Amino acid sequence: MRDFATELEARKAEGLYRVRRQVSGPQQPRLTADGERRLSFCSNDYLGLANHPATRDALVSALSETGLGGAASHLICGHHDAHHHLEERLAAFTRRESALLFSTGYMANLGVISALAGRGDTVFSDRLNHASIIDGCLLSRATVQTYPHGDVATLAAKLSATPGHKLVVTDGVFSMDGDVAPLKELARVCRRYDALLMVDDAHGLGVLGPQGRGSVLAEGLSTDDVPLLVGTLGKAVGTSGAFVAGSALMMDYLVQKARTYIYTTAMPPALARATAASLDVIEQGDERRIHLRALTTRFREGAQALGYTLMPSNTPIQPILVGGNEAALALSQALEAKGLLVTAIRPPTVPVGEARLRVTLSAAHTEADVDTLLAALASVAPPSPSTLSTLSMPIRSVS
């Protein structure tokens, strides 16, 4: 039998062992983790809606009407009008004809990719795509071609050399780097080479674009340009679940074919009501997004002035590049000793030699919170350039 204990010890020796912190109380910047008060810069609650009164109230008042459990899959008897209204709401929010709810973003990506590509087809995937996209590609049994991060020219060459059905999949905002995919260019080459384009906007929805409608609408792209848009509800939307949006025809096709839609229990209907309330808050005004952008600029300017290496990101995902696994862990631990929670991200979540601290900002942070983080970063030395020497990626700069 395989020696699982030795594998675990090897992980520890490489600085790759993972542990979970136990959070008590609601998710918000000031939280309790393992019994200690911390200021957190690592959640994906970009708009501070995970504990918003309007969403909580909507959940509580929906419960008496809908009860709690989802009870069945959508195709048996689980498709509640609360789900149906949320699908219509999400379609309108993303300016699409139709939308389909999934229980998680992971399941949405597995289901959509494996429904739309199969044996004999080819899926083209950005090298830095989320794990759920990678797994969806594997599950599809299609041939998978990975293209270098954001490299549309290489993708175009691969597309032109590939016959048959082609699906191109990309994160809208890359989850560990924070940069935005070259969506206009991707849409252009996909049209030129008759490939279907799917964008997973888990980190753009709520944050980018007019009224937070996401990275695709921020670029002025429609369903014709990006036929499949996946969004998740557990990040900026602050609840849980996910959806895919596009034409009514494609949604109909997915209802027939997406196995992670068909063979799983519908989310609790009250959660769908709470999610709709959260969308109301997101649409209402841009104050949260304006505040978030100001915090992002403040952090970037401060951290760069301190000599830290940031990545070319204008989103609330602001990784500090470190390089080595142990060095990233050490920086995370030094900040934790000062009361700050910023998690180290290590391979295989990011490429080997590109371990980093993934700082994420939230509209629930104050300017003083960002200054607290900057003061802590000032008091622990930036990682020496030698730890960055193993970096394989070019470090670009953004304004």
Give the active site residue among 74, 80, 203, 291.
203
Q: Minimum distance from CB of 150 to ligand PLP (Å)?
A: 15
Q: Is 358 in the site for ligand PLP (CB under 6 A)?
A: no
Minimum distance of ligand PLP from residue 120's CB (angstroms): 26
For residue 354, state whether it binds ligand PLP (rule: CB under 6 A): no
Annotated active-site residue 235? The verdict is yes
Minimum distance between the CB of residue 175 and ligand PLP, rounded to whole angstroms? 4
Rounded to a whole number of angstroms, the minimum distance from the CB of residue 94 to ligand PLP is 16
Binding status of residue 264 toward ligand PLP by CB under 6 A: no
Sign of the dihedral defined by the CA atoms of residues 176, 370, 399, 305, in that order? negative
Quick one: which of 10, 39, 13 has its CA closest to 373? 39
Of 132 and 387, the one with the shorter C-beta distance to ligand PLP is: 132
In the numeric block, the tokens 């599950």 are attached to 139
203 binds ligand PLP (CB under 6 A): yes
Half-sphere exposure of 65 (CA within 13 A, CB side): 14
Q: Write down the least CB distance from residue 399 to ligand PLP, Å.
A: 25
Number of residues that bind ligand PLP (CB under 6 A): 14
The CA-atom distances, in angstroms, between 60 and each of 54, 63, 268 are 10, 5, 12
Q: Cα(133)–Cα(172) distance, rounded to whole angstroms?
A: 12
52 belongs to the catalytic site: no
Instruction: Examine residue 273 and tell whether it contacts ligand PLP (CB under 6 A).
Output: no
105, 136, 206, 231: which one contacts ligand PLP (CB under 6 A)? 105
Beta-bridge partner residues of 248: none
Q: Which of 45, 87, 126, 171 binds ligand PLP (CB under 6 A)?
A: 171
The one among 86, 91, 202, 250 contacting ligand PLP by CB under 6 A: 202
Pairing of strands 355-360, 122-126: unpaired
Does 313 help bind ligand PLP (rule: CB under 6 A)?
A: no
Tokens of 104: 């998680």
Stretch in the footprint of ligand PLP (CB under 6 A) among 103-111, 145-153, 204-212, 341-349: 103-111
CB closer to ligand PLP out of 45 and 200:
200
Between CA 7 and CA 359 the distance in angstroms is 30
Query: Taking CA 251 as the corner, what is the angle to CA 246 and CA 252, rounded to the nearest 5 degrees?
Result: 145
Is 85 labeled as catalytic in the residue annotation? no
- Residue 112 or 292 having the CB closest to ligand PLP: 112
The per-residue b/e assignment along 15-35, b for 16 or more CB within 10 angstroms, e otherwise, is beeeeebeeeeebebebebee
Q: Residues 79, 130, 235, 291: which is the catalytic one?
A: 235
Query: Cα(157)–Cα(160) distance, rounded to whole angstroms?
Result: 5
Binding range to ligand PLP, per CB under 6 A, among 53-61, 98-106, 273-281, 335-343: 98-106
Cα(354)–Cα(320) distance, integer angstroms: 10
In this chain, which stretch among 79-87, 100-108, 158-166, 315-323 interacts with ligand PLP, using CB under 6 A?
100-108
Quick count: other Cβ atoms within 10 Å of Cβ 69? 12
Q: How far is the CB of 160 from ligand PLP (least distance, A)?
A: 27
Q: Are the C-beta atoms of 105 and 85 separated by less than 8 Å?
A: no
Long-range CB pairs of 289-294, under 8 A, 24+ apart, other chains included: 289/47, 289/207, 289/212, 289/363, 291/363, 292/46, 292/47, 292/207, 292/316, 292/361, 292/362, 292/363, 294/367
Q: Does 234 bind ligand PLP (CB under 6 A)?
A: yes
Active-site residue, from 125, 132, 140, 175: 175
Q: Does residue 382 touch ligand PLP according to CB under 6 A?
A: no
Q: In angstroms, rounded to a whole number, what is the distance separating the alpha carbons of residues 116 and 254?
A: 8
What is the set of active-site residues? Answer: 175, 203, 235
Footprint on this chain of ligand PLP (rule: CB under 6 A)? 104-106, 109, 130, 132, 171, 175, 200, 202-203, 232, 234, 242
